[in-house]
Amino acid sequence: MNKPRSILKYFTALEQSEGVGAKVRRSIGSQELRNFTPFLMLDHFNVSPPAGFPDHPHHGQETITYVLGGMIAHEDFTGSRGVLRPGDLQFMTAGKGIIHSEIPVELESGAPSVGLQLWVDLPMHLKDCEPRYRDLLNNEIPSVQPKAGLEVRVISGESYGVGSMSELAYTPVHFYHYITRKPGTTFEQHFPSNFNVFMYVLKGSVIVNGKTFAQYSSVFFNTDGSRVEGSGSSEESEFILIGGEVLDQPILQYGPFVETSKQNMYEVIGNYQSGTNGFERAQGWSSSIARGVVFSDVAKIESCE
């Protein structure tokens, strides 16, 4: 197994509408690939006010939001609220139920909010855990430059001997943001044998196993090796490498609700409709940010975190 992983599948993430007027490039969760355990969805979003993702529920999963540009305000029915800036991440565990809102901050520059949102399945025994949030700020993320022209932001896991701050998700996930600054810069990233691994190209192009992958390419790997290796093939390339522990359980998904059986799903939908078993606070709740957030609102939102 001490060899590079081979490629299982690859395709280009196409743009589609999502939320209220938002545009996303969806890779996992698309017609090309429904899921890739433990991953349920990956969206590369680019949204400008008044577009956004107003009040909506989740159950049985975790979401990881990584802001690359602009600012995103969030609020949920537990009273948690805050603002994510470029380089910040939020790890949200929906557990038995949560309703929240994610809205781009309207900046004077008019710049959109850009980033990634990854949906991760929860192990069966944690589907009904209490919801929780963990924010990981830009200045808390270690960065390593193992050679000229290569930088890795170690969001979760370990790369070139540098470890991340802590485990932030219930389902084990390793998350790396790679940047190569000259063509031909090589890289390699190791992953546990029981992890599914994929790559998403944010900028430029990357060569893996002799094939060149351009911007917005999604590349999925087999579990037949210990690492992913390749090189940047443009003047500057950026890509994410993410791995997660394979969950040996059924996946039944109904929008933002994720369960392991039809019976469980019927119960969750009933809980949501009746405001019970995790959704008690949903009755009559609406976020204060759903109608939009301007930059002058940010200080007030953060003072209430």
Residue 167 forms part of a structural domain:
yes
Q: How confident is the model at residue 151 (pLDDT cuts 50, 70, 90)?
A: very high
Residue 300 has pLDDT above 80, yes or no: no
Q: Spell out a b/e string for 232-260, using b for 16 or more CB atoms within 10 Å of the CB, else e.
A: bbbeebbbbbbbbbebebebbbeebbbbb
Residue 305 has a pLDDT of 57
Secondary structure string (H, E, C) spanning the chain: CCCECCEEEEEECEEEEECECEEEEECCCCCCCCCECCEEEEEEEEECCCCEEEEEEEECEEEEEEEEECCEEEEECCCCEEEECCCCEEEEECCCCEEEEEEEEECCCCCCEEEEEEEEECCHHHCCCCCEEEEECHHHCCEEEEECCEEEEEEECEECCEECCCCCCCCCEEEEEEEECCCCCEEEEECCCCEEEEEEEEECCEEECCEEECCCEEEEECCCCCEEEEEECCCCEEEEEEEEECCCCCCEEECCEEECCHHHHHHHHHHHHHCCCCCHHHCCCCCCCCCCEEHHHHHHHHHCC
Q: How confident is the model at residue 298 (pLDDT cuts 50, 70, 90)?
A: confident
Residue 214 has pLDDT above 80, yes or no: yes
Binding residues for Fe cation: 56, 58, 100, 102
Q: Give the domain range for residue 135.
A: 7-245
Residue 280 has a pLDDT of 93
Residue 258 forms part of a structural domain:
no
Residue 291 has pLDDT above 90, yes or no: no
Contact indicator for 82, 301 with CB cutoff of 8 Å: yes
Residue 18 has pLDDT above 90, yes or no: no
Residue 289 forms part of a structural domain:
no
Residue 214 forms part of a structural domain:
yes
Mean of the pLDDT values across residues 232-245? 96
Residue 303 forms part of a structural domain:
no
Residue 2 has a pLDDT of 85
Least confident of 35-49, 161-175, 192-206: 161-175
Residue 304 has pLDDT above 70, yes or no: no
Binding residues: 56, 58, 100, 102
Mean of the pLDDT values across residues 206-225? 98
Q: What is the pLDDT of residues 28-85, one digit of tens each?
A: 999 999 999 999 999 999 998 888 899 999 999 999 999 999 999 999 998 888 899 9
Q: What is the pLDDT of residues 75-131, one digit of tens each?
A: 999 888 889 999 999 999 999 999 999 999 999 898 999 999 999 999 999 999 999
Cα separation, 131 vs 257, whole angstroms? 14
Residue 292 forms part of a structural domain:
no
Residue 24 forms part of a structural domain:
yes
The CATH number of the domain where 144 resides is what? 2.60.120.10
Residue 269 forms part of a structural domain:
no
Residue 183 has pLDDT above 70, yes or no: yes
Contact indicator for 226, 1 with CB cutoff of 8 Å: yes
Contact indicator for 237, 180 with CB cutoff of 8 Å: yes
Cα separation, 121 vs 92, whole angstroms? 12
Rounded to 5 degrees, what are φ and ψ at 117? -130, 125
Owner of token pair 């520059």: 109
pTM value > 0.85: yes
Residue 220 has pLDDT above 70, yes or no: yes
Q: Domain count of the chain?
A: 1
Cα separation, 299 vs 302, whole angstroms? 5
The chain-wide mean pLDDT, for the chain, equals 94
- Tell me the percentage of the chain whose pLDDT exceeds 90: 82
- Comparing CA positions, the residue from 56, 192, 39, 36 lying closest to residue 119 is 39
- Tell me the percentage of the chain whose pLDDT exceeds 70: 99
